[in-house]
Structure 1
Amino acid sequence: MAGPVRTTAAVVLAAVTAWPAWADTGRSTGRPVPRFVSLSADTANLRAGPGKRYPVEWVYKRARLPLKIVGEFGAWRRVRDWSGTQGWMHSALLSGRHTVQVLGDRDRVLRESPRADAAPVARLAPEVIGDLDRCRSGWCRASFAELTGWVPRRALYGAPVGD
């Protein structure tokens, strides 16, 4: 009797210790969840559920907008935008291109290097979208139009957490 109990306990222990790996992987793609993507379409419907039969709750009209995938169901992705609005979008409307959006209600300074005292390159208006290059030490290097520089990570939506 002790043999089957020990075997069952070992299986349960293995399953429990492996749980975080399962929880961090999308069911449909096997890719990490959450993760950032961007809109590939100029117009995209955000739906109440994962399918065309669900009502449209919001219409996005801004290609390259960064979104966070927080769930997956078949070809549908549950996404969250910078304001916290969540819903479902078909994966065909999304791109793996990594973009960032300037947060807040004031301009941010794009700097030459990842330091608060570095020379300014430009001022970035709220909600402007750029292409993310990389992040380190609380700063992210991104390109906005023809300008490239560093912005504090906390000022950007779409920047991954951690360095």
Structure 2
Amino acid sequence: MKPRQIRYAFLLCACVLGVNAAPATAANEDKVPYWASVDAEVANMRVGPGDSYRIDWVYRRPHLPVKVLRREGPWRLVEDPDGAQGWMRDLLLSRQRAAIVKKGELVDVRAEGRSGAPMLWRVEPGVVGLLGECKDGWCPFDAQGHKGFVREERLWGAGAP
């Protein structure tokens, strides 16, 4: 098993909350780059745009955010949070926005999108969650039903691609 196959198997230490974090979608599907997320239990990244190309990475992390850099028929050239690039079929991707907590320290998840809001819990780098519409530097973040707000700069997959 390659290291990247299990790279995104991080733990989330959280409480169940009732904050609504509706997922954001991109406005224009034809323009690149744009954000997408892995929409499969297992997704292969290939070295070229076709089934005959060698599989370079195997992702086992639904909702992992990726940046779509190019389109070629049903294939998308994507970049993962570590900077690896390769080709995935469009059927393996979703336009549902997601984000991953960037490397570094634990990140505070707050009850509201502001600094003075109560801290609900802290998440580790590598935690993946669905992303709502970011406003004023704060993003609604839903990690497997655990909802709150995270600073936009602490998330890969938020902001402009």
TM-score by length of 2: 0.77
Rate the CA distance shift 1:155–1:92 in 2: closer, same or farther, 3 A: same
Alpha-carbon distance, 1:83 to partner: 0.8
Judge conservation of contact 1:121–1:147 (CA < 8 Å) in 2. no
The residue type equivalent to 2:34 in the other structure is R
How does 1:37-52 map onto structure 2 within 5 Å?
Answer: 37-52=36-51
Aligned partner of 2:159 in structure 1 is 160
Say if 1:91 and 1:143 are closer, same or farther in 2 by CA, change over 3 A. same
Report Cα offsets for 1:23-59 as digits up to 9, x if no partner: xxxxxx9522111111111111111111112111111
TM-score, normalised to structure 1's length? Answer: 0.76
Is 1:71 the equivalent of 2:70? yes
Residue identity over aligned pairs, in percent, reads 37
Q: What is the DSSP-based 3-state SS (H/G/I as helix, E as strand, rest coil) of the residue aligned with 1:92?
A: helix
Alignment of 1:82-161 (within 5 A): 82-161=81-160
Q: Which has the higher contact order (CA 8 A, sep 6+)?
A: 2
Conserved? CA contact 1:108–1:123, under 8 Å: yes
- For structure 1, the residue ranges without an aligned partner over 5 or more in a row are 1-28
C-alpha distance in 1 between matches for 2:120 and 2:31: 34
User: What amino acid is aligned across from residue 109 of structure 2 in structure 1?
Assistant: L
In 2: Cα distance, 1:158 partner to 1:47 partner: 21
Q: Aligned residue pairs: how many?
A: 134
Structure with greater helix percent: 1
Q: State the Cα RMSD in Å.
A: 1.7
Partner Cα distance (1:109, 1:83) in 2:
22
Structure exhibiting the larger radius of gyration computed from Cα positions = 1
